[in-house]
């Protein structure tokens, strides 16, 4: 690789780093080239010798990448490359910089959600067969509670209290949480449970709430197929996933005034920072609405007067 437009000091350290990647890390040719190229581009941009750099230089470089429309995955790789480079410098007692830059907020991929109109279309299921009642109950329950698909298909009738309108589920790390159920979801779950679930049972005894056409527990893959078929039938063009319903549940709650802590508890997030991504979704929508409807609107970085 030809190294130019960087200082001789940076060229020398990259050559030493290349040897380290081959001999100590024992990486392949392609991996070594990728790591070297990442650091070369970084040093070329900041126009400094490696032993004069700061965390602010790294952050500014990542900000520059954001303006250049790099994907979140490319930037994540570049962050890993930069961290590995500084680890090498530290381990070899060449230069010490404690890199404390994580993936910047502008690279956090915002979840895709359904609009309330799209949710209404999705849940408008014609009820003719026991499978229709099952599907209606499942989708209403998922949107009403924000359950993960693995939590939904693992539910038993004992997990549902239709008198108190709550569901008890077990999330990551087998942590138990209790989530309220809205009256609409509760109505259709009760209807399915009392009048239609029995007709789906075969010879095998199964405690799971939602059953497939063989009388066995519905799987995540089975739920996904049902969800996609219904979305296609309703003309919803988004690449719908079960997690999209969970994202929609949280975002619609937040947009209608629910506090972040309550949403965190209902979603079962151990850290509220995970839940805070939904505030970014709301802010994006706020800006979009402002730009669409304000008579003296503005765009990021450019005022219209």
Has 278 been annotated as catalytic? yes
- The residue from 16, 108, 243, 297 that is catalytic is 243
Catalytic: 269? Answer: yes
* Residue showing tokens 């990442």: 38
The rounded distance, in Å, linking the Cα atoms of 150 and 4 is: 52
Taking every pair of Cα atoms in the chain, the longest distance, rounded to a whole number of angstroms, is 79
Active site residue 77: no
Among candidate residues 73, 14, 10, 76, the one with its CA nearest the CA of residue 46 = 10
125 vs 54: CA distance, rounded Å: 57
Catalytic annotation present for 148? yes
Does the annotation count 214 as an active-site position?
A: no
Candidates 78, 134, 197, 246; catalytic one: 246
Alpha-carbon distances, residue 49 vs 18, 21, 55, 252 (angstroms): 17, 20, 14, 49
Distances, alpha carbon 121 to alpha carbons 47, 113, 125, 159, 254, in Å? 54, 14, 8, 28, 21
Active-site choice (172, 232, 294, 297): 172
Active-site residue (options: 136, 148, 197, 252)? 148
Beta strands in 132-290 (DSSP E): 160-161, 166-170, 176-180
252 is catalytic: no
Please enumerate in sequence order all residues whose Cβ is within 8 A of that of 184, keeping only pairs 6 or more positions apart, or say none: 140, 144
- The residue with tokens 């690789």 is 1
Q: Which long-range contacts (CB under 8 A, 24 or more apart) does 259-265 make?
A: 265/177
* Active-site amino acid positions: 148, 172, 243, 246, 269, 278
């Amino acid at each position: 690789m030809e190294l130019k437009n960087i200082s001789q000091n940076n060229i020398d350290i990259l050559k030493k780093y290349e040897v380290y990647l081959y001999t100590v890390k024992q990486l392949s040719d392609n991996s070594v080239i990728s790591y070297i190229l990442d650091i070369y581009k970084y040093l070329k941009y900041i126009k400094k010798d490696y032993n004069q750099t700061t965390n602010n230089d790294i952050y500014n470089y990542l900000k520059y990448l954001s303006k250049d429309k790099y994907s979140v995955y490319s930037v994540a790789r570049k962050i890993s490359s930069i961290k590995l480079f500084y680890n090498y410098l530290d381990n070899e007692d060449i230069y010490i910089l404690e890199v404390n830059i994580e993936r910047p907020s502008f690279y956090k991929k915002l979840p895709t959600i359904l609009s309330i109109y799209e949710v209404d279309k999705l849940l408008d299921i014609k009820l003719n067969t026991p499978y229709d009642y099952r599907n209606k109950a499942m989708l209403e329950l998922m949107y009403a509670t924000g359950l993960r698909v693995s939590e939904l298909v693992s539910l038993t009738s004992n997990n549902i209290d239709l008198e108190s309108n709550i569901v008890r589920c077990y999330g990551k790390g087998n942590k138990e949480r209790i989530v309220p159920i809205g009256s609409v979801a509760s109505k259709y779950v009760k209807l399915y449970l009392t009048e239609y679930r029995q007709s789906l049972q075969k010879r095998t005894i199964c405690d799971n709430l939602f059953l497939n056409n063989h009388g066995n527990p519905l799987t995540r893959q089975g739920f996904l197929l049902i969800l996609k078929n219904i979305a296609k039938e309703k003309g919803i063009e988004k690449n719908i996933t079960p997690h999209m319903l969970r994202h929609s549940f949280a975002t619609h709650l937040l947009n209608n005034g629910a506090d972040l802590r309550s949403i965190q508890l209902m979603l079962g997030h151990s850290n509220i920072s995970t839940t805070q991504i939904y505030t970014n979704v709301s802010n994006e929508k706020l800006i979009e609405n402002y730009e669409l409807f304000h008579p003296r609107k503005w765009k990021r970085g450019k005022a219209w007067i």
